[in-house]
Amino acid sequence: MVIISVGLTKMVGEYMSKRLMQLNCSSSCIYESHMIDLMTNWITDKDCVIFISSSGNTQTLLKAAEKMDHLAIPTIVLTNNPDSSLTNSTELAISLSVQNQLYGGYDISARSFLVVLSDLIVDYYHLLNK
């Protein structure tokens, strides 16, 4: 599994990746845009890409989702915005509707729900692979 998260959701992606590793699931977290661009050189249709985004409208992630779709790579998105562009461009979307909050032009919306979603997915993965 490859987890892609940027900005303030980077820590959620790292957390999810480490939990998956504890279950002996090979995973990596990518959060730098140039590395996200390079992953098309090595990813295969046996991988699964999980996008984590609060807004679901981050251009870096939207471009990566488009590339994954073109390569027929399975994709999942976790987002705080069920109506986002990213939600509409991936195979499976799991979202909670969290009100977007801005302060001084910066997104200060809660990311804690994304942690809860990642925990639920990892727990479900664990149940399926017992």
- HSE, CB side, 13 Å, CA atoms: give it for residue 50: 25
Taking the C-alpha atoms of residue 126 and residue 95, their distance in angstroms, rounded to an integer, is 20
CA triple 108-113-116, angle to 5 deg = 145
Which pTM was predicted? 0.93
Residue 5: predicted pLDDT: 96
Q: What is the pLDDT of residues 68-112, one digit of tens each?
A: 999 999 999 999 999 999 999 888 999 988 888 889 988 888 899
The DSSP bridge partners found for residue 93 are 77
Q: Which domain holds residue 54?
A: 2-128
Residue 32: predicted pLDDT: 94
Q: What is the pLDDT of residues 18-64, one digit of tens each?
A: 999 999 999 999 999 999 999 989 999 999 999 999 999 999 999 99
CATH number of the domain at 94, please.
3.40.50.10490
Tell me which H or E stretch contains 21: helix 10-22
Residue 69: predicted pLDDT: 94
pLDDT category of residue 124 using cuts at 50, 70 and 90: very high
Residue 51: predicted pLDDT: 97
- Between 130 and 42, residue with greater pLDDT: 42
Question: Do the bridges between strand 102-103 and strand 49-53 make them parallel or antiparallel, or are there none, so unpaired?
Answer: unpaired
Question: What is the tally of structural domains in the chain?
Answer: 1
Report which of 127, 126, 130 is spatially closest to residue 20, judged by C-alpha positions.
Answer: 126
Write the burial class of residue 41 (CB in 10 Å: 0-12 exposed, 13-18 middle, 19+ buried): exposed
Record the tokens describing residue 119, joined without a space: 């925990």
